[in-house]
Chains A and B, each alone.
Chain A
Amino acid sequence: MSFAELLPLLVILSSALASFVIFFLRDDRSRLRTSIYLGGEIVKLGLVLVMLQGIYVGAQYELRVPLLPDIDFLLQANELAMLFLILSAGLWLLTTLYSIGYLRHAPNRARFFGFFGLSVSATAGIALSGNLFTFFIFYELLTLVTYPLVVHRETPAAMRIGRQYLVYTLGGGVVLLAGIVSLQLVAGSLEFVAGGTLTGDEASPAILIAIFALLIGGLGVKNAFVPLHSWLPAAMIAPTPVSALLHGVAVVKAGAFGIVRVIHEIYGIELAAELGVTLPVAILASFTIIYGSIKAISQDELKKRLAYSTVSQVSFIALGVSLVGYLDTVGGVAHLVHQGIMKVTLFFCAGVIAETIGVKYVSKMGGVGRRMPWTMGAFALGSLGMIGVPPMAGFVSKWYLGVGAIEAGQPWVIAVLVTSTVLNTVYFLPVLYVSFFGKPTGEWQEERPHTRFEADWLLLFPTLAVAGLVFLIGLFAGWELSPLGWAELIASRQWEGQFGN
Chain B
Amino acid sequence: MGLIGSNWLVVPIVLPLATATLAMLVGRRSAPYLGLLTASGILLSVAAIGLTVLEEGTIRYQLGGWEAPLGINLYADGLAVFMLLMTAIVGAAVSAYAVGYFTSRQDESGRVAGDSGDRSGSFWVLWMFLWASLNGLFLSADAFNLYVTLEIMGLSAAGLVTLERRQSALSSGMRYLFVTLLGSLAYLMGVALLYGALGALDLATLGELMYPGAATWSALALITLGMALKTGLFPLHFWMPAAYSNAISPASALLAGLVGKASFYLLLRLWFDVFDGGLGPGPGQVLGLLGAAAIVWGAVMAVRQRRLKRLLAYSSVSQIGYLFVLFSLATTASWGFDAWSGGVYHAFSHACAKAAMFMSAGAIVRSVGHDDLDRMQGVGQQMPLAVAGFALGGVTLMGLPPTGGFTAKWLLVSASLESGQWWIAVVLLAGGVLAALYVLRFLNPALIQVKVGPVARPATQNLEVTAFVLAFGSFFLALLSAPLLALLRIGTPFASVLLVGTP
Contacts and interface: CB of A to CB of B under 8 A. Distances in A.
- Contact, chains A and B (beta carbon distance below 8 A): yes
Interface of A: 65-69, 136-137, 140-141, 143-144, 151, 154-156, 159-160, 162-163, 166-167, 170-171, 173-175, 177-178, 181-182, 184-185
A178 B413 contact: yes
Interface in B486-503: 501
A200 B413 CA distance: 24
Contacts of A173: 400
B338 interface: yes
Given A68-B407, A151-B447, A170-B436, A177 B429 contact: yes
A429 B409 CA distance: 50
Given A68-B411, A140-B400, A159-B447, A178 B429 contact: yes
B417 A137 contact: no
B402 interface: yes
B448 A154 contact: yes
Contact of B444 (A137, A163, A167): A163
Given A144-B395, A178-B413, A184-B414, A167 B482 contact: no
Interface string B434-447: 00110010001101
Interface string B200-223: 000000000000000000000000
Contact of A68 (B395, B445, B447, B481): B481
Contacts of A167: 433, 436-437
Contacts of A166: 436, 440
Contacts of B398: 170
Nearest to B435: A170
B96 interface: no
Interface of B: 338, 380, 395, 398, 400-402, 406-407, 409-411, 413-414, 417-418, 425, 429-430, 432-433, 436-437, 440, 444-445, 447-449, 478-479, 481-482, 485, 501
Contacts of A140: 400-401
A201 to B, nearest CB: 19
Given A67-B478, A137-B401, A141-B401, A178 B411 contact: no
Given A137-B478, A185-B417, 12 more contacts: A67-B479, A68-B485, A69-B338, A137-B401, A143-B400, A163-B440, A166-B440, A170-B432, A174-B429, A174-B433, A177-B410, A178-B429
A478 B501 CA distance: 52
Given A68-B482, A159-B444, A163-B440, A181 B401 contact: no
A140 B475 CA distance: 13
A154 B377 CA distance: 10
B437 A144 contact: no
B447 A154 contact: yes
A420 to B, nearest CB: 34
Contacts of B338: 69
Contacts of A136: 401
21 contacts: A67-B479, A68-B407, A136-B401, A137-B402, A137-B406, A140-B401, A141-B400, A141-B401, A143-B400, A151-B447, A154-B380, A155-B449, A159-B447, A160-B444, A163-B444, A173-B400, A175-B429, A177-B409, A177-B410, A185-B414, A185-B418
Contacts of B430: 174
A144 B400 contact: yes
Nearest to A139: B401
A182 B417 contact: yes
Given A140-B401, A154-B380, A174-B430, A69 B417 contact: no
A155 B448 contact: yes
Contacts of A156: 448
A156 B436 CA distance: 18
A154 B387 CA distance: 14
Contacts of A151: 447
Nearest to A171: B433
Contacts of B380: 154
Contacts of A175: 429
A114 B349 CA distance: 26
B317 to A, nearest CB: 21
A66 to B, nearest CB: 5
A385 B411 CA distance: 47
Contacts of B410: 68, 177, 181
A178 B425 CA distance: 8
A178 B401 CA distance: 14
Given A167-B437, A185-B417, A66 B482 contact: yes
A101 to B, nearest CB: 23
A160 to B, nearest CB: 8
A164 to B, nearest CB: 10
Question: Which has the most chain A C-beta neighbours within 10 Å: B400, B417, B425, B437?
Answer: B400
Nearest to B412: A181
Contact of B414 (A65, A66, A144, A181): A181
Contacts of B433: 167, 170-171, 174
Contact of A141 (B402, B411, B425, B444): B402
Question: Which has the most chain B C-beta neighbours within 10 Å: A151, A154, A155, A174?
Answer: A174
A69 B501 CA distance: 10
Contacts of A185: 414, 417-418
Interface pairs A-B: 5 shortest CB-CB: A137-B401, A154-B449, A174-B429, A159-B444, A140-B400
Contacts of A163: 437, 440, 444
Nearest to A111: B384
Contact of B448 (A69, A159, A171, A174): A159
B267 to A, nearest CB: 25
Contacts of B418: 185
A160 B395 CA distance: 19
A137 B410 CA distance: 12
A184 B335 CA distance: 13
Contacts of A66: 482
A173 B425 CA distance: 14
A116 B382 CA distance: 22
A469 B398 CA distance: 41
B138 to A, nearest CB: 24
B413 A181 contact: yes
A362 B144 CA distance: 78
Nearest to A72: B482
